[in-house]
Structures are given as C-alpha cells and as structure tokens.
Amino acid sequence: MSALRWAIRGALNTLDPATRTRLLDRRGLPDRSRQAATAAILERVRTEGDAALRALAAEFDRVTLDALEVPRAEWERALNALPAATRSALERAAENIREVHTAFRPLERRITTRDGVTITRRPDALGAVGVYAPGGRAAYPSSVLMGVVPAAVAGVREIIVSSPPSPNGLPTDVVLAAAAIGGATRVFALGGAGAIGAMAFGTASVPAVDRIVGPGNAWVAEAKAQVASVVAIDAPAGPSELLIIADERANAERLARELLAQAEHDPEAAVVLLATSEALIEATTEALERQLAVAPRAEVARAAIEVNGAALVVSSIAEAIGAANAWAAEHLLVACAGVEQVIAELRDVGTVFYGDAASVAFGDYATGANHVLPTAGLARSYSGLSTVDFYRWTTLQEIDRAAAARLSADVAVLADAEGLPAHAAAARAWGTDA
C-alpha cells in the first residue's frame, strides 16, 4: 500500500458522524485574532487613507511606495517585456473569456401584465469595480483576466486592479501585463486587507468602488467579509477545492494529475476522490506518490492531501452524486460512465468538468469560463463570477390610466389592511379616472 496518507480514507457509508462532519465542514472556526487585526487595518485605512496604505506597505510588504498608483507606462513596459509565448497565451485566454462572457450577458426583459401594467427589468453596468489580484506565494495574472475582462464586457467605466507590490514597489510584471491585456483602467500597488479597505472606503488616491471581486488569502477574504455591508463582493472565498467522481474505467494517472494540480495551490486546499472501488483509490494514490516525487510544489500538495484530502469508496454513482451535492465543491470532475445523467443531477457545485480530455487546469486559465468560484460549501448559495456580477438591475414600471383604474380597488383594500390610509387614498384617486 502507498505511503501517502489521506486525511480521510475508507468507505463513505461507514464514516462515523464526527468524520463525516469533518469531511463536509471546510469553514472551520472563526479566527478571532485575524478578525480583530483585520478590523483594525480597515479602520486605519478608513480614517487615515493613503498614509495608512503607505505604512501597511512598509510593514507587510517591506517596501516604500513613492506612489500608490502604477503609471500606465509601467503597464506597457511590463507588457512589452513579457516573453512572446506568455503574452500570446494571456491574449488568447483573454479573448476566450471575452467571447464566453459576452455570450452570457444579461438581457433586458419586458412584460405587460393582465392589468395592463408594463414592467421592464434592465441591466445597468456598475460604475466602478475593484479587482484584487493576489501576490504572496505566486502571482496570478489569470485572476486579473477573470475579473477585468467580464467587467469590461459588462461596460463598467472604471476597472481598478489592486495587487501587492514586489520589492521594486510595483506589482509583478505579469500582473501588470494582464491588466493591460484585460482592459483595466487603473492599477494600484496595494495588497492584503489594506487594499480591500481602500477600494471599499476610498482614499485620496484610490476611488471607492461599487463591487470588489477576486481571490486572495485569508486576510483578504476576512477583509472582504467585513466590508460587505459597505460594498458588494463576489463571494466569500477560501482555498482551492476539487472533488472527483470516478468509476473503474477512469485512468488513475489522470486522476492523480488532477488532484495534484489543485492540491499544489495551498497547504489548506481540499481534494476528494469518490471512487467505485478500493483498487482505483489505491492505483490513484500510487500514481500520486510517483508524481509527488518529481513535483516542484510537492511539499504544499502533500500537506493539502494529508490534512484535507479524502479518498472514499462509494457503493454506487448515485451515492457519489449525493455526497457531491452535500460537499458542494468549487471544482468537480466527472470521470465515469453515464456522464450526462450525472451532471443533470449535480446541483450544488461551482463548476463541472467532463469529457475525455477535461482538465480543471484548462478552466483555471483558458476555456473562457470563470475560475473565481465559491468554496467551503458556499456553492449551495453562490455562483461563479460572471458578467451578471458587474450589473445592477433597474425596474421600470409604466402604468396608464386604464391600468390604474383596474388596480385601484385591490391596492386600496390592501393598504387599508396594513394601516396605511394615505396609500389607500392615492390608489382610490384613480378608481374612477379611467
């Protein structure tokens, strides 16, 4: 048997209640110290503005910022300095994202009711959005594109990118280049909770936005949660997740590649394999061991598997579907027979991959779908980022005299029932004026 130790391994239907709870609940207990420290950072930014942002950059990023905003000339320099293959890949990814998100833009709808009232629901683009692009362990230009391009497609006028400064006081070149390719309007060298506070409250240099999107570390996630009453956010987010449903026909090497690809994100990433046989789990685990032996981020991936990973035998694909809906994964890969029926029954999931050549990595970068997705079971109530997130809806109500006369009596009765006589009088005034 392989030496790799999954955090949870065995038959799904034999898990005790405590282990099942551990499997399903990835949120964990609130970190009170992080909550308090984040609140303090946000308050500093709210009250001290740019001065707080400079102090935070010195404290956490170890840089002195001459300016918070990155001049457009630096974006262009970074874009021109990119290796040709990297630039081409980013441009193709941006075009795919643009094509997909354009196709799914929300449409204005209009209906006339039986009483002759015309109701219109119109999507109006937000005025300004903030896109957070992580730094830290790695730079993520793909996340820049996933936030900026849909906002541009929606027609948002001001698209701000905020990303932590590297030692030279600027975000990494590849992030700056992605901002240029995606269509951002401004870029700021700001990271962490301070960046979220700046975009939520506004400072002398950083404009307040109408919505903040994009992934980040635990501090960024906590800051977004705390400013959610001030500015809209995409969704609470945590470490990457993958759940695989597989039967005996699945290729163990392929399954191992997919598990490893998501596990390498973060030591707190969660990966789950639901397989119809112990033999497939063992073959996949052995393949994972071989791949970890040569993986550059093996330490990170192994920690994720051994702390948050699960390899479970299911008695049927139906049992796997039930477990998948309960787990509500960020990413879900279907590698079994009867794919169409399986995906028809999946309800609570961020995004589903299927097909002989489906790899979650393709969705992370270049299919055109969005990789900003709900985690920690929040796929039960949140969706992945899309153009819809960059609109607000205006409702228009057209009422002519004939319609008013038809509605008058019912509205007056209901207003009286609620003890609002002025409402009733306003309705009755139209009762005979057809």
Q: Specify burial of residue 304 (Cβ count, 10 A radius: 0-12, 13-18, 19+).
A: buried
Mean pLDDT, the chain, integer = 95
Q: 109-127 pLDDT, tens per residue?
A: 999 999 999 999 999 999 9
Kindly tell me if the per-residue pLDDT of 136 is higher than 70.
no
Encoded tokens for 384: 């992945």
CATH node for 8-29+238-381? 3.40.50.1980
Domain 8-29+238-381 and domain 32-76+118-233 have a common topology: yes
Sheet containing strand 128-132, strands side by side? 186-188, 158-162, 128-132, 211-213, 232-233
Written as one letter, the residue type at 364 is D
Percent of the chain exceeding pLDDT 90 equals 92
Mean pLDDT, residues 26-42: 90
Written as one letter, the residue type at 355 is G
| H or E element at residue 158 | strand 158-162
User: Is 277 or 66 the better-scoring residue by pLDDT?
Assistant: 277
Encoded tokens for 89: 């890949």
DSSP 61-89: I----S-SBPPHHHHHHHHHHS-HHHHHH
DSSP 245-306: EE-TTS-HHHHHHHHHHHHTT-TT-EEEEEES-HHHHHHHHHHHHHHHTT-TTHHHHHHHHH
Q: What is the pLDDT of residue 434?
A: 47
Query: Pairing state of beta strands 118-125 and 391-398?
Result: antiparallel
| H or E element at residue 324 | helix 317-327
User: Is 217 or 259 the better-scoring residue by pLDDT?
Assistant: 259
How long a stretch of residues is the chain?
Answer: 434
**Domain 32-76+118-233 is in which class?**
alpha beta
Mean pLDDT, residues 36-52: 97
Q: Which of 189, 203, 245, 169 is nearest to 50 (CA)?
A: 203
Kindly tell me if the per-residue pLDDT of 8 is higher than 60.
yes
Q: What is the pLDDT of residue 237?
A: 80
Catalytic residue numbers?
Answer: 330-331
Q: Which of 266, 245, 277, 279 is nearest to 308 (CA)?
A: 266
Split at pLDDT 50, 70, 90, the class of 135 is: confident
Mean pLDDT, residues 378-389: 94
CA distance 390 to 105: 10
Side-chain half-sphere CA neighbours of 167 within 13 A: 0
Domain ranges of the chain: 8-29+238-381, 32-76+118-233, 399-428
Q: 254-305 pLDDT, tens per residue?
A: 999 999 999 999 899 999 999 999 999 999 999 999 999 999 999 999 999 9
Mean pLDDT, residues 137-145: 86
Q: 230-246 pLDDT, tens per residue?
A: 999 998 888 899 999 99
CA distance 311 to 389: 35
Contact call for residues 398 and 373 (beta carbons, < 8 A): no
